[in-house]
Amino acid sequence: MKYKKQDKFIINGGNKLFGEISIQSSKNASLPLLSACLLTTEKVTLQNLPDILDIHNMLSIMRKLGVKIKKEGNNHQIDSLNASCKQIDCKLSKTMRSSLFFLGSMLSRFKSAMLTMPGGCKIGERPIDMHISSFKKLNVKIDYFNDYIYFDAQHAKPNKIKLKIPSVGATENILQFACLLKGKTTIINPAKEPEVVDLANFLNSMGAKILGAGTNKITIYGVNSLHGVAYTPIGDRIVAGTIMVAVAMCGGKVIIKNGVPEQNAKLIEILSKLGCKIKIKYDIIELSKDDALLPIGKIETAYYPGFPTDLQSVMLALSTITAGKTRIIENIFENRFLTVKELKKMGANINCVSSNEIEVVGVTHLHPATVVAEDLRGGASLVLAALATKGQTVVKNAHFIDRGYDHFEDVLTQLNLNIRRQ
């Protein structure tokens, strides 16, 4: 699918959700798996990759590095045999922060790398200082010139690294770099997200020796080489969560397959307390909502296994039409309330308490408007608000939503909702 910046969603809200869907593979798991393919000269097949803009851009970067990619449906055969150490394409790296994931694999494979500061959604500074300090701990030489950062890993050595916060990106970069670094590398206070565990499982399936992923300490024993493998990324817990919140907002009954319920435990707990009926069997979530929801009270984001920052925006949309007051505290990113002004165009009652806290007073209903997505998750929240609003709403900048949701309009149409791309 070709994604266009001028695309928008035309949404006629007021319908309930009914049906059954299977959740796409995780965006946040698939991206580091792609970069890790550089670590082997053998062919790797990644199965069921989501058809989203971030994946398209990641594959474009890989092709420019000399990687051959053969696509059959949603399966991609990755051949990095003839990959070379080149600068990551400036234009592409500025469109997505995930280009930073190539740093660990490129340094491991080629012993040097150069990149510009990565881009992505406008949700905060998201500095790369922990990536820098971690590589320095591993004896990687780092130099700066204008907007470029140069890395030299010719004399890299294993070490113990203690992260000041459990950064997902820094943890994943260390995993990729250290798995082929002779000796023992230890990460203290690593990120515990399921996507980090999935990367470790992927690398181990290729012959790496990584222990403790998902705990407070990860130990990596460097091996000589990695081999090819066929692998399927985990399901996308954020997409599953988005659909669950859509049911809570609009009503109806949906069966979600590949919904990774254990990874959405915090959201399921909250929605159950609000009055949603939820049944879980293996990786299947059945969720229904008929009556008015109880007040939310408070949502506070935290590192996994806390409430995910990537679901904060859709919970903000839910809180706008839920009885009572809701406090939302954002502890991960400092600029994740960009959607507030757009929801206010639809009649939401939202007040800013501080730079990382807002108070929402639920209203009986929102009204249609033309709104603008400014980031991925905020864009999804605007779509959900529109679906719960009678009348026609236009959500501009659909390309932000396309970064993480695989044919979002088709999925929602399949669930009895009225949404089209224009």
Which residues in 73-208 belong to E strands, given as ranges?
75-79, 112-116, 141-145, 148-152, 160-162, 184-188
Report the 10 Å Cβ neighbour count for 42.
Answer: 16
Three-state SS for 28?
Answer: helix
Active-site annotation holder among 37, 85, 90, 121: 121
Gyration radius from the chain CA atoms: 21
Bridge-based pairing of strands 325-329 and 357-361 is: antiparallel
Q: What is the DSSP annotation of 308-348?
A: -GGGHHHHHHHHTTSSSEEEEE--S-S---TTHHHHHHTT-
Q: Are 149 and 127 a contacting pair, CB within 8 Å?
A: no
- Backbone φ and ψ of 301, nearest 5°: -80, 150
54 and 403 Cβ atoms separated by less than 8 Å: yes
Known catalytic membership, residue 121: yes
Residue type (1 letter), 186: T
Asked if residues 122 and 374 have their Cβ atoms less than 8 Å apart, the reply is yes
Token reading at 421: 């791309």
Q: Which residues form the catalytic set?
A: 121
